[in-house]
A and B are shown apart, each in its own frame.
Chain A
């Protein structure tokens, strides 16, 4: 079945360590996104990419990095510079320019201790 796969579902890391969240899609979508979700704050856009080898910062990009070397993959690295990384991270994809529907993965919980 087509969809978006995020891994791992749950991840624990020590403060000061970088961690990479995986996102793979087999929907043949050009655009991919990373959102962060905190209670009561909805979803905030971290990074997005509309084509391979190109990506743009979202509203809260500081402390995060991404790459888009393949159409189907958009990994997110949470660096030690991110001051409060514990959150639920959601990867999504769509087809621009008419990407009216964004499809989401199941999310990854990151807990930094």
Chain B
């Protein structure tokens, strides 16, 4: 069965510092990979997605992620965070042949002024 692991439940980081949020998945077949962001009491918004092609994916708000098939990872990065980046971040996988999406437990990013 597929699963998604987000290794850090909480990540505090100072404003303008770089950040990496880690995501690992397990699957015996090819998958699509996603990162979503959730602000308090709101739904989820798509940050970026990997479907195929280049393993480095750029998304909105200056975020990017790199797909590493050998390590089954899809880590999210931003070179310089802002206060407004404080939110919950979810990694997700979807089987290419199904429409079911599996979410990780989330990482709470807190940006410290």
Contacts and interface: CB of A to CB of B under 8 A. Distances in A.
Interface of A: 4, 31, 33, 35, 40-45, 48, 50, 58, 90, 92, 94, 96-97, 99-107, 109
A27 to B, nearest CB: 13
A1 B88 CA distance: 26
Nearest to B46: A101
A48 B104 contact: no
Interface residues of B, number: 23
Interface centre among B44, B49, B51, B106 (most CB of A within 10 A): B44
Contacts of B84: none
Contacts of B26: none
A94 B42 CA distance: 18
A96 B103 CA distance: 18
Given A50-B99, A106-B43, A107-B43, A100 B105 contact: no
Contacts of A97: 99
Interface centre among B41, B43, B90, B103 (most CB of A within 10 A): B43
13 contacts: A31-B99, A35-B103, A40-B9, A43-B44, A44-B103, A50-B99, A58-B100, A100-B51, A101-B34, A101-B46, A105-B43, A106-B41, A107-B41
B32 interface: yes
A31 B99 CA distance: 8
B104 A42 contact: yes
A48 B51 CA distance: 22
A35 B4 CA distance: 16
A50 B9 CA distance: 32
A103 B101 CA distance: 12
A102 B42 contact: no
Contacts of A104: 36, 43-45
Interface string B57-93: 0000000000000000000000000000000001000
A42 B32 contact: no
B101 A40 contact: no
B87 to A, nearest CB: 14
